Amino acid sequence: MLKLIVGIIIGYFEKVVIIKSNIMKTKIIVLSFVTLLFVNTIHSQTKTTVNASNSEISDNLDLKAVASIFGDSENLEDFEKRLNDPKLKISNLDLNDDHRVDYLRVIESVEGNTHLIVIQAILEKDIFQDVATIEVEKDRNNNMQVQVVGDPYMYGNNFIYEPVYVHSPLLFSYFWAPNYSIYYSRWNWGYYPRFYNYWRPFPIYRYNRNVRVWINYNNHYNYVNIRRSSVAINLHRNIRANSYELRNPERSFERRNNSVSNRYELDQIRTSTRNNRSDNNNVISPRTTTRTQTPRNNSQSASPRQNTRTDAETPRNQPESNTPRGRQNNEQTPRNSSPRENRNSNSRR
């Protein structure tokens, strides 16, 4: 009998231990699952916040800044250096989505008095995408005509700035020299100049704040929608690179912004939208109307509670000569004619 009881007790405790063990294992499994889920969430958040590129591609390279540093450059090699200088950060383009701003190479084609300068993003080995062109042409009177043209895939059709420089750019003096050598960048994917280091794309508001510092506002940047040099157009057909465009036709400016034709019109809509928001913020609402327009804040003469308190109408503010408490004639004031003061005056006499 005793053995039976002991056996029952031992069996009971074994079951309790097994149950507790199973509960413990369940807790460990649940805790491990929660930990794994938390780690994956943090990791995914880190991955999604690293990329600072903007969905509107044309926001990431300001052509006014390009025109400005072109006018400040000594030659096209210096121009390419300024485009990619990590200290200036003129570009914010990351077309291949590798979280690094793309290197922009510069190549040139020349025919007669026309120089075509092409800016291309390096995306992979021998894979390039045109970003913009600079077309310089000298007329019969030796006047220089400069146009900075955004690539249609990036900026829409006929997005063109004509810079008017306050000082003639130094590189113009070399363009038509007898021994001038056409510039063609030697840099390619993974093969860059020593000064160049990668940097991550900025959020667009930070890029705009940075790039405006490098625009020379003494120059003028006039928008036009006509390319003036037919020679430059023909030269460009032979050397244009559009690898990114062919891979991503859905990201063309026309697909991204089907209600406007180019970046200039997009800027006009954005400006109009900002102005409308500002006007709406300045509209007088019922809570902020002037005092003359609300019943509670009408002028004091129109409100029973806040009638104007003129000295003649308000008992508390009437002149002291008419107020019993403030009479100046001591002989007519009850307090000053008290018996005590009369006795003192009699005794003094």
pLDDT tens for 313-348 read 444 444 444 444 444 444 444 444 444 444 444 444
Strand partners, 132: 119, 150
Q: Please tell me the predicted confidence (pLDDT) of residue 339.
A: 42
- Supply 46's token pair: 């880190």
Q: How are strands ordered across the β-sheet holding 160-164?
A: 104-111, 114-124, 127-138, 144-150, 160-164, 220-224
Q: Please tell me the predicted confidence (pLDDT) of residue 167.
A: 94
Q: Please tell me the predicted confidence (pLDDT) of residue 2.
A: 56
The tens-digit pLDDT sequence of the chain (349 residues) is 555 565 565 565 555 445 555 556 555 554 555 455 544 444 444 333 333 344 799 999 999 999 999 999 999 999 999 999 999 999 999 999 999 999 999 999 999 999 999 999 999 999 999 999 999 999 999 899 999 999 999 999 999 999 999 999 999 999 989 899 999 999 999 999 999 999 999 999 999 999 999 999 999 999 999 999 999 999 999 999 999 999 999 999 999 998 999 999 999 999 988 888 777 776 655 554 444 444 444 444 444 444 444 444 444 444 444 444 444 444 444 444 444 444 444 444 3
For helices 76-84 and 63-72, the axis angle rounded to 10 degrees is 140
Domain ranges of the chain: 57-272
Q: Please tell me the predicted confidence (pLDDT) of residue 330.
A: 43
**Contacts with 79 (C-beta within 8 Å, 6 or more apart), sequence order:** 69, 70, 73, 106, 117, 171
CA dihedral in degrees (20, 22, 28, 31; nearest 10)? -100
